[in-house]
Structure 1
Amino acid sequence: MARPRTPLLSRERIVEVATAIVDAEGLDALSTRRLARELGVRAPSLYNHFATKEEIVDAIGDTIVAGVDLSMLGRDPWPAALRAWARAYRAAFREHPNVVPFLARGPARRPSSLRLADAVHGALVEAGWPPAQATRIGAAMRYFVAGSALGSFALGFVDDPDLYAGDYPHLRDAHLLAGRHADVDESAFELGLDALIDGLERRFAAL
């Protein structure tokens, strides 16, 4: 039988299928056995590309972060650049919420995550922020963006007005939040982003 023109497996294909599993079922659902079955190969075949499951998860995270637009950093004024980058970062996270807890741990050795951290820090330092302050700002932005992508605030409230009417009078309209979750969550993110950037601008003016 002739050899196939293209290999059955590639790093890109493995990461694609692994990402689909994690997106649908969470990180705990990913195993080399499950991944091999989905790819139609034997589990040892994966080890030609990745030595461990942890390397596969790293590659998933690296691929997600690689899609975040960084072009505004170092090009636009730092307040506008931070806003645009935060929105792009959150958009990537929201497409893959099951990976957010893993990515929130930090860049580790992932090239795309390190490039992102380097771009944010470099843009702030070049704009005039002291390096120590730039480090704290990068951390604060990551906390804010990752936290906003972990889940929906509005969907945490059930559609049951009777639950809130008696004991929680200040939540009397909370049963409406789930039905408006997209607007509530998006406007809450923008409110928090405005507050964060506005506060940083005041600090920058006082340097």
Structure 2
Amino acid sequence: MPRNPILSASRIRAAALHIIDRDGLDGLSMRKLAAELGVQAASLYGHVSTKDDLLHEVASEILEKVDVSGFSGGDWRHGLTMCARSYREALARHPNIVPFLAYGPAHREASLRRLDVVHGALVAAGWTRREATMIAASLMYLVFGAALSSFSSGFSEDQSLYQDRYPNLDKAHLLPAVAAELDRDSFELALNAFVTGLAVLNGRDCVAAGEAAGESAPSGSPRRTDTTAAST
């Protein structure tokens, strides 16, 4: 029996993610990864070409849990909600790698396939290609903002810091104890406002489209134009 288990791509990814979770994104190096696995650094290059390639493989594995199946029923609002919740949950398990993921899908095939589903569903629902791109980007801003910070945890538990000086923050010292619950509920509030606001815009555009066809519509109803030069 070999002293160490035989290297495999899945074992390398797991070890790399363990280091990132423990030491942060900057704490990962091929030398440290090799030591974690009990091998020489040169042994890793038969499985992964560069650290950047390895990070993309780890990212792809983490993001497999992002669920875009909600778009299959034709309800873009349900699809966005499911996607956002599952995305936040996936990132919450490994917050140290979030800065790397925040740069976008890059050349990750699975990420691009998911984005293609989102984009296609939004366009099919009547949004222009440019708007679909903006909606997907806005959703990522919301998800990654929630994953990168905890507003409630940023307060001190020392009541004297807030009492008397900030009368409207006299209970702020209680927030860290319920940070997880507040962060979740705050994300849900923002997500609901985002999707509800989009639904209002989408409905007004439907009215505007009817007006263009000769039907009555309230004055000032916005019209959408598909700026293909700016679409993706």
TM-score normalised by structure 2 residue count? 0.84
Identity level (%): 47
Q: CA deviation at 1:184?
A: 0.8
Matches within 5 A, 1:36-185: 36-185=34-183
2:218 equivalent in structure 1:
none
Q: Which runs of 5+ in 2 are unaligned?
A: 206-232
Q: CA deviation at 1:167?
A: 2.8
1:195 equivalent in structure 2:
193
Q: Deviations over 1:128-162 (max 9, x none)?
A: 21111000000000000111011211111110110
Cα distance between partner residues in 2 of 1:63 and 1:151 = 23
TM-score normalised by structure 1 residue count? 0.93
Q: CA deviation at 1:85?
A: 1.1
Q: CA deviation at 1:76?
A: 4.4
Q: Which runs of 5+ in 1 are unaligned?
A: none
Tell me which amino acid in the other structure corresponds to 1:75. G
Q: Is the 8 A contact 2:98 2:147 kept in 1?
A: yes
Q: Is the 8 A contact 2:74 2:121 kept in 1?
A: no
Q: Is the 8 A contact 1:148 1:189 kept in 2?
A: yes
Cα distance between partner residues in 2 of 1:115 and 1:164 = 48
Q: CA deviation at 1:49?
A: 1.2
Q: Deviations over 1:105-141 (max 9, x none)?
A: 1111111221221111111111221111000000000
Q: Is the 8 A contact 2:81 2:191 kept in 1?
A: yes
| Number of aligned residues | 203
Q: Is the 8 A contact 1:97 1:151 kept in 2?
A: no
Tell me which amino acid in the other structure corresponds to 1:156. G
2:12 equivalent in structure 1:
14
Q: Is the 8 A contact 2:162 2:172 kept in 1?
A: yes
Cα distance between partner residues in 1 of 2:74 and 2:173 = 41
Tell me which amino acid in the other structure corresponds to 2:72. G
Q: CA deviation at 1:58?
A: 1.2
Deviating 4+ runs (over 6 angstroms): none
